[in-house]
Amino acid sequence: MKRSQLLYVAVGGVFCLAVMSLYRMLELMQGAEHQQSLEKPAGQVGEDLSRLQEKIDRLERLLYDNNQLVATLRDSLRVRKESWEKERRRGGVNVSSDSALSQADTLPGCQLATEKKDGTKGVQLLDVYDLLPFDNPDGGAWKQGFEISYNGNEWDEQPLEVFVVAHSHNDPGWLKTFDGYYQDQTRHILDNMLIKLSADARRKMIWAEISYFSKWWGELDEQKREMVRRLLKEGQLELVTGGWVMADEANSHYFALLDQLMEGHLWMQRHLGVQPSSGWAIDPFGHSPSMTYLLKGAGLQNMVIQRVHYAVKKHFAQQQTLEFLWRQNWDSSSRSDITCHMMPFYSYDVPHTCGPNPAVCCQFDFHRLPKRRVQCPWKIPPQPITEQNIKERALLLLDQYRQKSRLFSSHVLLIPLGDDFRFMESSEWDVQFDNYQKLFDYFNQHPELHVKARFGTLSDYFLTLSKRLNASGKTLPTLRGDFFTYADRDDHYWSGYFTSRPFYKRLDRTLEATLRATEILFSLTLAEMRRVHGDGRLASDFPARDHFLSLTLGRRNLALFQHHDAVTGTARDPVVVDYGTRLFHSILKLHQVLQSSAHWLLLMDKSQYSHSQSKTFLQMDETFSAQDTLPQKTKLTLSDEPRSLVIFNPTEQLRSSVISVVVDSPDARVVDAETGQPMAAQISAVWEGPNRASTEAFQLDFVAELPPLSLVVYHVTKSSVGSTHRVQYTFNSHDSSTVKSEHFQVSHLTRTEAGSPLSLSNKHIQIWSSSETGLLQKLRLQSGLVRQVQVQFLWYGTTSKSDKSGAYLFLPGPEGAQLYSYSEPPLVRVSRGPIFSDITSCFKHFTHRVRLYHLEGHAGRSVEVSNTVDIRSEVNRELVMRLVTDVSSGNLFFSDLNGFQMQQRRTLEKLPLQANFYPMSSAAFVQDTGSRLSLLSAQSQAVASLRPGELEVVLDRRLQQDDNRGLGQGVTDNKLTASLFQLLLEDRKGGAQGVGGSSVEHLSLLAHMTSLSLCHPPITMVTPSRNQMPKLRPFLPLRLSLPCDVHLLNLKTLEDPQEADTPSQEVALLLHRKGFDCSSAPQPALQCTWSTQEEVNLDDLFSPLRFRSVHRSGLTLLREHHEQESAPQQQQTHITVLRPMEISAFRVEIE
Ligand SMILES: [Zn+2]
């Protein structure tokens, strides 16, 4: 589009919006007049006045929104004009051509994101993948590596400095439940740790899982607690990472990753007064830079990782780059750098940590001495160290140390000593620590060996490493990218766990969204109570402490589920049930907090508030009846008396949302409780079977206008027969006579109709689907952009070789995916209504639905895709949904890492099929110069783009056998499982950027907004029927939406520093400023603002909320020591810097 046209569109946009807003204002005023004309008793004057005040507030908000929008557009015009002037002065440039228009000036704010596109410095892992042959030759003793040689004089100048780091890997649930492991193993390990470390000051150990540590701490007396504190102070015990768990890095969403880190760090600071400085992630199945970002942001300087593709390890070992500075793809500074140590060998157990030869190293795992519980599979047992054998033993070990040292650029060596649930028995401590101490003593008494060895912690190691590097003037290389998809041997790629147990991966995100919503509403409730009471008191009957305990339970159960055997779907069946029950109970508890917070906030007369556990004023519209079933809608009984619906918008954006409830009548009316204005609504059938509509339950959908973070009340009543718009149905089924739907108009496709595609459209998009299957075929945008987008379903089986797919591994057969076939075509049901229209395909194993919402704003711009899948009848099969498109994406596509950032992927033919699957927690896209097709998801699963233009996601997997990674079972506990997506096609302008290279890409603002709405749906609560209704008024905490590139990640109440389990006045404010793509500006523009500045004023963002004592902190909110001394910043305006892509954390009090 030419510059002049762009200007017209912009000006036109301003005009349209102004007209629309005026229209909306008129509507509101009419509503007001209507109210005034009603008769009213004298006593209601006060109430009316306050209603009027509400209305004025609303009008004010609308005007404000409008002004902001005009300001943004004016800003954009100014920027454009300036650049135009600049170009004109330079001369010789055809300013009206697209090429002259740099991406940076198409949208304000874009420049910030574009600047982050510098991914040039350092090694890019994608390039390493292009380089490696993946030929897997036999490396000898170090099977996946190479023969390592040395002369022996390498350490003459500077001795080898060895740190043996004792560790015990405790999974918070895997073969046993969290509590099961704790009782049987973990508490004994920690009890012995206290005794055995205290017995000898030279002994040291590290511990990672705070979930276990805090449970154990709770059982200690004060004397033992003092011993723990002393061990920490003396540096004998080090808490590493400090997360609640050692989190999975593929399926976890960054909200939960950060929350579990916060839970651990805050616990450590409160109870122990320490904070971690080194990360330790030896078992997660692949590694993500999102985790690295969070660790660095939480103040950690170093980290260790282990499960990296064996070919990548070998390459890094050859280059001596196993230690590197891990940098974010999008970061052009060194701010996000963290020192990372990659373990070189196959595993974190002793045979694979002392050096390259496991048969030798196993002899130095003294827990495997003859007659103990474990043996060496290499058939050479360890020997106790004696005076007779010490020289031979020491030299044998030193040889391994020296070989391993040759893989690193410094002479400092990290030797982990441990395994799963190690150091349990007292005698195990003795055999390990005593025998190693003898070896160390021998080394240290023989200076001619040029080796110094001792027990150490991670910090000991990294501190010495950093000193040695500084002294030698060396710097570590910089690396960008991620470590997916992990393979530990041969073609055993761990891409199965990206989807395993998808039911729980979805439940995880339901809890996450519920927790975030509850945290925010609870914090706002406490602030509002303090404001209303004036003296910092809370409402006397409000169970703030109970609610805070529920929030803590929710945080900790979500945190526990981020463990690398939990959200991964790689635990035993009973353990999965334990996790599921925890998630389920947490959701129920959080619902109670939501209900009573909303209750108090909405009451016009706060003195009417009373809390009753058994009889709550509000109930959830959607209920969960068990840990393994999908949520169910409550059927509302309607009458002439209004039934109240309370809707909470958990997003920081004003949004139009379709609210869906189930009612007992096909005739219903919804009005805005404030204005009395009727809402656009439609009635559709509740289908009890593919072609059998319920005669007792009906789905009522209406459009709600929800201001940011608001609670809004609607009234539903029964209305006169035929007054509500009913959806019209069209069926294509092999047996047309059997459709039962007495309340709805039903037609059947005629033979000629059945020959041409089905089509639905709204004002933004038109879609075409096959009339035979109902599956999508083509999309067209209003702009004219057309793309073939064919939805297919396919099966993968597993290989006939002995190693088959299981919970971790995806090992498909050589035939690849087979198209889903059916003996009878599916029943296809088309519904058309004023609020939405959709096409549902009912296949034997799944029901698939595509829906278009007839809405203004971003909700109307994408296609909602939902599936419910049931593959319980199958054996060794995996079901995928594939999009086959004509987007010319080559072998490139993009998938997200933890919902935090996008990562480029290259589909490589030299790799087996299963290696080309990647984790997707929230988004993937393919693009060419003219278009981008994004698939946004509400749950984690595996994604691939096996051929140009394709995207496929694995929906469920059912596998009968174990895949030999210790789990000892298959994955056969499948259930009816839901998955939800938004499919978004966008024009890409200025396609000159092209595709190729390891460019950094972001979602567009429209995709960010769509994803936000998808992951954080409105929460609907209802008043019980025939309830004596007190007067309610909406709760509107923000005057304006936040800028649409600023995400309110959380607003969570912190624990009182003095009083345990009690909410303090202090709240954690977490903001994530998103990077966004500029080449796909939607027309007309989105109804939100963003800024070209990094500086923002928090008070303006959250007006009319006011913050005081604002402290910027690390991402896990640890209190800095100097903070208490710093002057309170109460009177200052709270201007702060929010950088694109970065999360900012503040501890604040809400005034
Ligand atoms: Zn583990």
Give the Cα separation of 304 and 548 in Å (integer).
35
Backbone conformation region of residue 1127, classed left if phi is above 0, alpha if psi is from -120 to 50, else beta:
beta
Yes or no: say if 145 and 314 are a contact pair by the CB < 8 Å rule: yes
The gap between the terminal CA atoms of the chain, to the nearest Å, is 48
**What residues have CB less than 8 Å from 535, skipping those under 6 apart?**
none
What tens digit of pLDDT does each residue of 412-432 get?
999 999 999 999 999 999 999
* CB of 925 closer than 8 Å to CB of 931: no
pLDDT 10s digits, 693-739: 999 999 999 999 999 999 999 999 999 999 999 999 999 987 766 78
pLDDT value at 1100 more than 60: yes
Which H or E element spans position 871? none
Is residue 494 within 8 Å of 487, Cβ to Cβ?
yes
Of 757, 297, 709, nearest in space to 525 by CA: 709
Least confident window among 76-90, 277-291, 374-388: 76-90
Q: What residues have CB less than 8 Å from 876, skipping those under 6 apart?
A: 797, 798, 804, 805, 958, 959, 960, 961
Span 1053-1071, average pLDDT:
96
Q: Residue 518: count other Cβ atoms within 10 Å of its Cβ.
A: 28
Strand 323-327 vs strand 338-342: parallel, antiparallel, or unpaired?
antiparallel
Residue-level pLDDT at 279: 98
Handedness of CA 229, 231, 234, 238 (dihedral sign): negative
- Taking the centre of ligand 1 as the mean of its atom positions, its distance from the CA of residue 170, in whole angstroms, is 7
CA 119 to chain centre: 24
- Reported as a single tens digit per residue, the pLDDT across 650-703 is 999 999 999 999 999 999 999 999 999 999 999 999 999 999 999 999 999 999
pLDDT for 510 beyond 60:
yes
Measure Cα distances from 554 to 24, 860, 1056, 1145 in Å. 40, 33, 18, 21
Residue 763 has pLDDT above 80, yes or no: yes
**What is the Cα–Cα distance from 550 to 786, expressed in whole angstroms?**
49
* Residue 534: pLDDT band with limits 50, 70, 90: confident
Residue 98 has pLDDT above 60, yes or no: no
Residue 356: is the preceding peptide bond cis (ω within 30°)? no
Q: Which two tokens stand for residue 829?
A: 């049901």
pLDDT-wise least confident of 438-442, 835-839, 1042-1046, 1128-1132: 1128-1132
pLDDT category at 1125 given cuts 50, 70, 90 is very low
User: Helices 544-561 and 254-272, interaxial angle, to 10°?
Assistant: 120
Asked if the model's pLDDT at residue 111 lies above 90, the reply is no
| Beta pairing, strands 302-305 & 338-342 | parallel
CB 728 within 8 A of CB 649: no
> Ligand 1 centre and the CA of 758: distance in Å?
50
How far is 1113 from 205, CA to CA, in rounded Å? 29
* CA pair distance 1036, 847, nearest whole angstrom: 38
Cα–Cα distance for residue pair 1004/1000, rounded to 1 Å: 13
Q: Residue 216 C-alpha to ligand 1 middle, in angstroms?
A: 19
> What pLDDT is attached to residue 974?
98
Cis-peptide into 485, omega within 30 deg: yes
Q: CA nearest 933: which of 762, 775, 776, 774? A: 776
3-class DSSP state of 120: coil
Q: Give Dmax (Cα) for the chain.
A: 105
**Residues contacting 24, CB < 8 A, separation 6+:** 62
Least confident of 110-124, 573-587, 599-613, 948-962: 110-124
- 772-827 confidence digits (pLDDT tens): 999 999 999 999 999 999 999 999 999 999 999 999 999 999 999 999 999 889 99
Q: Is the dihedral of CA 89, 93, 95, 100 positive or negative?
A: negative
Among 468, 495, 404, which residue's Cα sits nearest to residue 807? Answer: 495
* CA dist 1027 → 614, 714, 1030 (Å): 15, 15, 9
Q: Mean pLDDT over residues 357-379, rounded?
A: 96
Q: By mean pLDDT, which of 107-111, 764-768, 930-934 is the weakest?
A: 107-111
Beta-ladder partners of 1143: 1072
Q: How far apart are CA 192 and CA 938, in angstroms?
A: 44
- Annotation says 640 is catalytic: no
Per-residue pLDDT of 897-924, as tens digits, reads 999 999 999 999 999 999 999 999 999 9
Mean pLDDT of the chain: 90
Residues 6+ apart with CB under 8 A from 101: 3, 83, 990
Return the minimum-mean-pLDDT range out of 563-567, 1023-1027, 1063-1067. 1023-1027
In angstroms, what is the span from residue 226 Cα to ligand 1's centroid? 29
Name residue 1127's amino acid.
A
Is residue 1010 over pLDDT 50?
yes
**pLDDT score for 61:** 55
1065-1078 mean pLDDT: 93
* CA distance linking residue 162 with residue 159, whole number of Å: 9
Contact status, residue 1070 vs residue 1025, Cβ threshold 8 Å: no
Element housing 518 (H / E): helix 502-533
Other CB atoms within a 10 A radius of the CB of residue 36 amount to 10
Task: Output the pLDDT for position 707.
Answer: 96
Number of residues that this document lists for the chain:
1151
Nearby residues of 85 by Cβ (< 8 Å), 6 or more positions away? none
Residues forming beta bridges with residue 957, ordered by sequence position: 878
User: Does the structure show a pLDDT above 50 at 90?
Assistant: no
Alpha helix locations (H) across 1028-1139? Answer: 1098-1101
Catalytic residue among 171, 248, 283, 565: 283
Which residues, 6 or more positions from 755, have their beta carbon under 8 angstroms from its beta carbon? 771
Whole-number Å distance between alpha carbons of 442 and 434: 13
Q: Which helix (H) or strand (E) holds 194?
A: helix 187-199
| 483 token code pair | 């470590």
CB 248 within 8 A of CB 283: no
Cα 507 to middle of ligand 1, angstroms: 22
Whether residue 393 is predicted with pLDDT greater than 90 in this model: the reply is yes
- Please give the distance, rounded to the nearest whole angstrom, from the Cα atom of residue 186 to the centre of ligand 1: 13
- Phi, psi values for residue 874, rounded to 5°: -100, 165
Q: How far is the CA of 893 from the centre of ligand 1 (A)?
A: 31
Query: pLDDT grade, residue 853 (50/70/90)?
Result: very high
In this structure, of 40-49, 477-486, 713-722, 897-906, the range with the lowest mean pLDDT score is 40-49
pLDDT tens readout for residues 344-359: 999 999 999 999 999 9
* C-alpha of residue 283 to centroid of ligand 1, in Å: 5
Residue 932 bridge partners (DSSP): 927, 986
C-alpha to C-alpha distance for 923 and 1003, rounded to whole angstroms: 9
Instruction: List CB contacts of 746: < 8 A, sequence separation 6 or more.
Output: 728, 729, 730, 731, 739
Most confident by average pLDDT, 751-755, 1016-1020, 1076-1080: 1016-1020
Please give the Cα distance from 89 to 93 (Å, whole number): 9
Taking the centre of ligand 1 as the mean of its atom positions, its distance from the CA of residue 256, in whole angstroms, is: 18
Residue with tokens 């762009």: 6
Centre of ligand 1 to C-alpha 1116, Å, is 23
Closest CA to 134 of 524, 489, 428, 383: 489
Neighbours of 448 (CB within 10 A): 6
Identify residue 601 by its one-letter amino acid code. L
Q: Which tens digits make up the pLDDT trace of 869-891?
A: 999 999 999 999 999 999 999 99
Contacts with 1057 (C-beta within 8 Å, 6 or more apart), sequence order: 270, 1064
Going by the DSSP 8-state scheme, the letter that residue 183 receives in this structure is I
pLDDT value for 597:
97
CA–CA separation, 927 and 1094 (whole Å): 29
565 C-alpha to ligand 1 centroid (Å): 7
- The residues near 912 (Cβ < 8 Å, ≥ 6 apart) are 491, 493
Spatial contact of 830 and 771, defined as CB atoms under 8 Å apart:
no
Distance from residue 171's CA to the centre of ligand 1 (Å):
5
- Residue 754 pLDDT grade (very low, low, confident, very high; cuts 50, 70, 90): confident
d(CA 1025, CA 1037) in angstroms, rounded, equals 28
Question: Residues with Cβ < 8 Å from 226, sequence gap 6 or more?
Answer: none
Residue 1084: asked if its preceding bond is cis (omega within 30°), the reply is: yes
Q: How far is the CA of 177 from the centre of ligand 1 (A)?
A: 13
**At 1146, which amino acid appears?**
F
pLDDT band at 101 (very low <50, low <70, confident <90, very high): very low
Region 247-260: mean pLDDT is 98
Give the distance (Å) from ligand 1 centre to CA of residue 364.
Answer: 22
pTM: 0.91
pLDDT at 739: 84
Paired sense of beta strands 950-958 and 941-944, if any: antiparallel
Rounded to an integer, what distance in angstroms lies between the CA atom of residue 1062 and that of residue 477? 47
Q: Which of 653, 716, 707 is nearest to 681 (CA)?
A: 716
Contact 776, 786 (CB under 8 A): no
- Exposure string for 824-854, b = 16+ CB within 10 A, e = fewer: ebbbbbbbbbebbbbbbbbbebbbbbbbbbb
